[in-house]
Amino acid sequence: MSKFYARRRVSILATLTGLIASAGLFNSPTASAALPTPVSAATARTYLASLTVATENRTGYSRDLFPTWITISGTCNTREYILKRDGSNVTTDSACVATSGSWYSVYDGATWTAASDVDIDHLVPLAEAWDSGASAWTTAQRQAFANDVTRPQLLAVTDNVNQAKGDKDPAEWMPSLSSYACTYVRAWVQVKYYYNLKVDSAEKTKLTSVLNGC
């Protein structure tokens, strides 16, 4: 075989390998990649060590104190923005309402084809934020937290799983998919650190335990 044909064969094989790899990416769930990538486990451990440990207080909490959903882009509010970001092949109408698509829930591994089966989870719940420092914020600060699409704070997940999570912290609830545990706690610590929120002792113990295994 001449050097020309040998090089051509290698080139064709490389191209086919690339196409196969690309096909694998398109066929795999996309939601886990849609969430803004959390800080590393090492950074999360550093952040966690700096967080104030304190008893939480829910006195005076109301979800209405955290305005949702606001307009993010064009006609899309926060929910619609995250549905488009986290879904695959999402189509929307003129009001930015999702009319078709599929959503892979990283909490439980389920895939949904109706947006009505999907909730937008506040990874650090609004009540949890209130308990750990947001009670002292202005309404504008709470609105920014409730609609934060920059930090790893909002993601599309199975609705009843989100409802089962409720306002629980990691000491009380973790995703059933253990493969997502590290991503979940890294994101949790990053959000709490960014917003200068406190942690309670049980929460810190659980976060430390999971991060030590990452």
Q: pLDDT by residue (tens digit) across 68-99?
A: 999 999 999 999 999 999 999 999 999 999 99
Q: What are the φ/ψ torsions at residue 118 (nearest 5 degrees)?
A: -120, 135
* Per-position DSSP letters for 130-159, written without gaps between them: HHTTGGGS-HHHHHHHHT-SSSTTEEEEEH
Lowest average pLDDT, out of 32-41, 62-71, 99-108, 132-141, goes to: 32-41
Residue 12 pLDDT greater than 70, yes or no: no
d(CA 214, CA 12): 39
| pLDDT classification of 6: cutoffs 50, 70, 90 | very low
- Token reading at 103: 């959503």
Q: What band does 18 get if pLDDT is binned at 50, 70 and 90?
A: very low
Give the mean pLDDT of 102-119.
97
pLDDT of residue 143 exceeding 60, the answer is yes
Q: What is the mean pLDDT of residues 138-153?
A: 98
Amino acid at 2: S
Per-residue confidence at 31, pLDDT binned at 50, 70, 90?
Answer: very low
Has residue 33 got a pLDDT over 90?
A: no
- Which amino acid belongs to residue 36? P
> Cα separations (Å) of 211 from 90, 116, 162, 188, 201?
34, 33, 22, 11, 15
pLDDT value, residue 160: 97
Report the 10 Å Cβ neighbour count for 100.
Answer: 12
pLDDT of residue 34: 79
CB within 8 A of 4, min separation 6: which ones?
A: none
Residue whose pair of structure tokens reads 């986290």 in the numeric block? 86
188 vs 208: CA distance, rounded Å: 12
How far is residue 41 CA from its own chain's centroid? 16
- Residue ranges of alpha helices (H) inside the chain are 3-27, 31-34, 41-50, 78-86, 126-131, 139-146, 159-165, 181-194, 201-212
Least confident among 6-20, 149-163, 198-212: 6-20
Rounded to an integer, what distance in angstroms lies between the CA atom of residue 86 and that of residue 96? 14
- Preceding amide of 69 cis, omega within 30: yes
